[in-house]
Amino acid sequence: MSDQLTSIALESLGISALVFLAFWVISIFKKDASIVDILWGPACALPGVVTYVNHSNGHPMQLLLVTLVSIWALRLGLYLGKRNLPHGEDYRYVRMRQQAGGDGPFIIKSLWFVFGMQCVLSWLISFPAQFGMLGLEGNEITMFGYIGTTIWFIGIFFEAVGDHQLTTFKKDPENQGKLMTQGLWSWTRHPNYFGDAMVWIGLTIIALSSPYGIYTVFSPLVMTFFLVKVSGKALTERHMSKKYPEYEAYKASTSGFIPMPPRKSA
């Protein structure tokens, strides 16, 4: 079975690489590397979809996995596309482009350090949606399936509702220049990132229904590490602290990741 796992993993990696390569070419013509952010969600789901199409035997757990990961990916991709495309290249990639020394050097750098890195990372994170489909017996939703789906719903709630609340807040002209501290954002400074982590914890628990699910437990750990320490919470908070003078007070009263009741100011 190890040969089959390797074959399936390499199959999905190859398809993912082709998709990322195509988006890299598009980014060159658009001079906008931030389109990779829109690709992120669908890229994490793509290996699971490929595995389902090519290797499904009709087990309901397989349909459950591919449905949940596809819903998450579609929602995230559409949300980021609607939010990002009208505004041009994100400030993070503009800075990287400048640091690289212009468009020419950045083209090569972005292939490896933007598109290539996210290709490999999304492929690794996708393992629950791939390997969780293999080796399943019987024809029923397992206990892991019910528990994981419940956690997935909690995650998609925080992610989708948090994004919606933020979008609605920003659309109101009276909130221009103001910091969002309402709704779920009063319970956690990053309901969207917390939701992402919960979604992948849920998918990994579902994958434990498979005898090969144990090989996927690193997936939510990697996702959460990047959300908290690298490209998510840490990077966002550095930017927000510079943009909003009141952000330090917000940090003092609001949980950094796991939702908790707001703390009273001293």
Q: Which amino acid is at 82?
A: K
Residue type, 225: F
Query: To which residue do tokens 């070419």 refer?
Result: 25
Q: Which pair of tokens denotes residue 7?
A: 């074959």
Estimate to the nearest angstrom the gap between the alpha carbon of 219 and the chain centroid.
11
pLDDT in tens, the chain (266 residues): 578 888 999 999 999 999 999 999 999 999 999 999 999 999 999 999 999 999 999 999 999 999 999 999 999 999 999 999 888 899 889 999 999 999 999 999 999 999 999 999 999 999 999 999 999 988 999 999 999 999 999 999 999 999 999 999 999 999 999 999 999 999 999 999 999 999 999 999 999 999 999 999 999 999 999 999 988 898 899 989 999 999 999 999 999 999 999 987 54
Q: In the prediction, which pLDDT does 1 show?
A: 53
pLDDT, residue 230, reads 87
Specify the pLDDT at position 120: 96
Provide the whole-model pTM.
Answer: 0.94
Measured between alpha carbons, how far is 82 from 174 in angstroms, rounded to an integer? 22
Left (φ > 0), alpha (ψ -120 to 50) or beta: where does 99 sit? alpha
The answer to whether residues 25 and 13 touch, using CB atoms and an 8 Å cutoff, is: no
pLDDT of 86 reads 87
What angle, 0 to 180 degrees and rounded to 10, lies between the N-to-C axes of helices 218-225 and 117-125?
A: 140
Please work out, in degrees rounded to the nearest 5, the angle formed at the alpha carbon of residue 41 by the alpha carbons of 240 and 21: 105
